[in-house]
Structure 1
């Protein structure tokens, strides 16, 4: 059985030889600091933070056992555990393009994936190309900046509640109704509004309320 404690890391965040860039992400979704071990992990956290179907996530969630080619037990630590709003969970490994090109690392990941599949657990590798694909990555950065640039007060919440839940708006329209474009972006970041983040955000982008189920949930591919 995996070693897992809610909201606790299974190991300290480290980098090879104690070097490299690492830091903390101030998560609004979790109301805590999330540790990351590389800029790529930080960018993955940004996806988890903004994804409307991810309820919560945990870095370094568990100590896991898998078996190598000789049947020997080995230890690994998935980078993240995602908890989705439908109750399912996904273990995530974040990997750079250069790492995925190495035979030894690829084989290790295959063996880890095999072990989790045998346990009936979902395990996914997020590559550099997936995490930093455009225009999604730029859009998410803009949303995050907007959350720090504006203050959403009760009057804004009231205005959002007064929107038609059965129609599509444009960013430009909502900028007028809600104050400015940064406010619209901040509300998308917080999940109160939805848009297609796989398309470049412009004043003409279609935006809808979270209650407009016909328009979709605004989720993007992980």
Structure 2
């Protein structure tokens, strides 16, 4: 039976169900409640399928970062405000809590700060010091600003994929995709080519869940090249964003 003729099963993994699940489990994933009360702060919850729980964000930039972490196939996990540190700096002890901890597919840890670009200029010396502090622990320190996070085309693509993230991709589906790419004798097909064999909902679900990959910084069209990512660890493992690191903040 072809994928096109069979019905896809929708997993009930709504934001509400994730929240209920996370509240029922022991809260072992963060050191404190990251959402601090403030009348001036825009904050909310991001329902993450990757993490199977709600991720708290405290700014629109952090919300955008959650989307990138969620859909970057080379990011294994991410969590908000993971730990508080006391860092000596200029004869003072400063308390610092990273906005996010991200772990890539190789198990490498990075702490991530989300900061508007116009506020970064006055913090470069401090962040270089923070980066050195974490480097001694074999942890990378990176910064994402509005320049890296705001991309209307990419955001539009991720909103589309978000709608199909919870459609199930079975083992049979994965084998079907492998066979389709093997028959094509190439490592990529256009979206139009794939649409000859599969429903668009299935294709978007496969992209959303990392089984197919493409350049999401460009508009998705019928001519977009789609690569197979069934064999994890191949050259098509993707990261959707660039970042700043010491000393070039």
What TM-score do the two structures reach when normalised by structure 2? 0.75
Which residue in 2 is equivalent to 1:120?
138
Q: Is 2:69–2:78's contact at 8 Å kept on the other side of the alignment?
A: yes
Q: Is 2:68–2:241's contact at 8 Å kept on the other side of the alignment?
A: no
Which residue in 2 is equivalent to 1:217?
237
Which residue in 2 is equivalent to 1:88?
108
Change (3 A) 1:73 1:183: same
Unaligned 5+ runs, structure 2: 1-26, 243-249
| Per-residue deviation, 1:24 | 0.9
Which residue in 1 is equivalent to 2:168?
152
Of 21, 42, 45, 2:66 maps to 45
RMSD between aligned residues: 2.6
Q: Secondary structure at the match of 2:79?
A: strand
The whole-number CA distance in structure 2 between the counterparts of 1:31 and 1:210 is 22
Change (3 A) 1:88 1:141: same
Which residue in 2 is equivalent to 1:9?
30
| Per-residue deviation, 1:153 | 5.9
Of 81, 87, 99, 1:66 maps to 87
| Per-residue deviation, 1:15 | 4.3
The whole-number CA distance in structure 2 between the counterparts of 1:45 and 1:57 is 8
Q: Of the two structures, which has the highest relative contact order with CA contacts closer than 8 Å and spacing of 6 or more?
A: 2
Q: Is 1:82–1:89's contact at 8 Å kept on the other side of the alignment?
A: yes
Verify: 1:21 aligned to 2:42, yes or no: yes
Q: Secondary structure at the match of 2:227?
A: strand
Unaligned 5+ runs, structure 1: 1-5
> Over residues 99-136 of structure 1, what are the superposed CA-to-partner deviations in whole Å (9 max), with x where a residue is unaligned?
224x2x44432332232234332000011110113533
Change (3 A) 1:214 1:59: closer
Which residue in 2 is equivalent to 1:183?
202
